[in-house]
Chain A
Amino acid sequence: MSYHGGEFDVIVIGAGHAGVEAGLASARMGANTLMLTLNLDAVAYMPCNPSVGGPAKGIVVREMDALGGEMARNIDKTHIQMRMLNTGKGPAVRALRAQADKFSYQHEMKQTIEETENLLLRQGMVEELMVEDGEIKGVITQTGAEYHAKAVVVTTGTYLRGKVILGDLSYESGPNNMQPSVNLSYNLKDLGFEMVRFKTGTPPRVNGQTIDYTQTEIQPGDDVPRAFSFETTKFITDQLPCWLTYTNGETHDLINNNLSRSPMYSGMIEGTGPRYCPSIEDKVVRFNDKPRHQIFLEPEGRNTKEVYVQGLSTSLPEDVQHNILKTIPGLQNVRMMRPGYAIEYDAIVPTQLWPSLETKKISGLFTAGQINGTSGYEEAAGQGLMAGINAARKVQHAEPMILDRSDAYIGVLIDDLVTKGTNEPYRLLTSRAEYRLLLRHDNADLRLTEKGYDIGLISEERYNRFITKKEEISAEIKRLEKTMIKVTDDAQEVMKQAGAAALKEAYHADVLLKRPELTYADIIKLAPAEKVLDADVAEQVEIQVKYKGYISKQLEQVGKLKKMENKKLPEDLDYMSIKGIAMEARQKLAEVRPLSMAQASRVSGVNPADVSVLHVYMEQGKLQKVGQTEA
Chain B
Amino acid sequence: MDIDTIAAISTPMGEGAIGIVRVSGKDAIEVADRLYKGKMTLSEVESHTINYGHIIEPSTGEVTEEVMVSVLKEPRTYTKENMVEINCHGGLTSVNRVLQLVLNEGARLAEPGEFTKRAFMNGRIDLSQAEGVMDLIRAKTDRAMNVAMNQVEGKLSKRIQTLRQALLETVAHVEVNIDYPEYDAEEMTLEILQEKGTFVMKEIDRLLQTAQQGKILREGLSTVIIGRPNVGKSSLLNSLVHENKAIVTEIPGTTRDVIEEYVNVRGVPLRLLDTAGIRDTEDIVEKLGVERSRKVIKDAELVLLVLNHNEPLTESDQELFELSDEHDTIIIVNKTDLVDNIDMSKVRNLAGERPVVTTSLLMDEGVDELEEAIRDLFFQGDLETGDMSYVSNSRHIALLNQAKKSVEDALEAVEAGMPVDMVQIDITKGWELLGEVIGDSVHESLIDQLFAQFCLGK
Contact = CB atoms under 8 A, between A and B. Distances in A.
Nearest to B112: A609
B422 interface: yes
A580 B111 CA distance: 16
Contacts of A85: 181-182
B141 A609 contact: yes
A425 to B, nearest CB: 12
Contacts of B182: 85, 294, 296
Interface stretch (A71-79, A391-399, A452-460, A617-625): A617-625
Interface stretch (B232-240, B327-335, B445-453): B445-453
B379 interface: no
Contact of A48 (B133, B442, B458): B458
Interface in A577-610: 578-580, 604, 607-609
A617 B183 CA distance: 49
A361 interface: no
Given A431-B179, A432-B447, A627-B127, A516 B113 contact: no
Contacts of A276: 451, 456-457
Interface string A62-99: 00000000000000000000000110011111000000
A616 interface: yes
Nearest to B2: A563
Interface stretch (A165-173, A281-289, A502-510): A281-289
Given A90-B419, A615-B117, A277 B456 contact: yes
A118 to B, nearest CB: 37
B121 interface: yes
Nearest to A609: B141
Interface residues of A, number: 63
Contact of B416 (A203, A516, A627): A516
A239 interface: no
Interface in A278-319: 278-280, 282-283, 286-287, 290, 293-294, 296, 310-311, 313
A132 B263 CA distance: 80
Contact of B117 (A296, A430, A616): A616
Interface in B159-194: 171, 175, 177-184
A89 B419 contact: yes
Given A276-B457, A430-B178, A623-B127, A550 B141 contact: no
Given A431-B175, A620-B130, A613 B181 contact: no
Given A429-B447, A431-B450, A437-B425, A620 B127 contact: yes
A303 B199 CA distance: 55
B455 interface: yes
A275 interface: yes
B418 interface: yes
Interface in A418-444: 420, 429-432, 436-437
Contact of A313 (B113, B180, B417, B458): B458
A437 B458 CA distance: 27
Contacts of A293: 455
B91 to A, nearest CB: 29
B113 A283 contact: no
B137 interface: yes
B340 interface: no
Given A275-B451, A550-B425, A616 B127 contact: no
Interface of A: 48-49, 55-56, 85-86, 89-93, 202-203, 275-280, 282-283, 286-287, 290, 293-294, 296, 310-311, 313, 420, 429-432, 436-437, 516-517, 547, 550, 553-554, 559-560, 563, 578-580, 604, 607-609, 612-613, 615-617, 619-620, 623-624, 627
6 contacts: A90-B419, A296-B182, A311-B458, A437-B422, A578-B134, A580-B138
Given A89-B178, A609-B141, A613-B137, 10 more contacts: A55-B179, A86-B181, A89-B177, A92-B422, A93-B421, A275-B451, A287-B455, A429-B175, A604-B442, A616-B121
**What 6 A-B pairs have minimum CB-CB distances, sorted nearest first?**
A516-B417, A90-B419, A580-B134, A609-B141, A287-B455, A275-B451
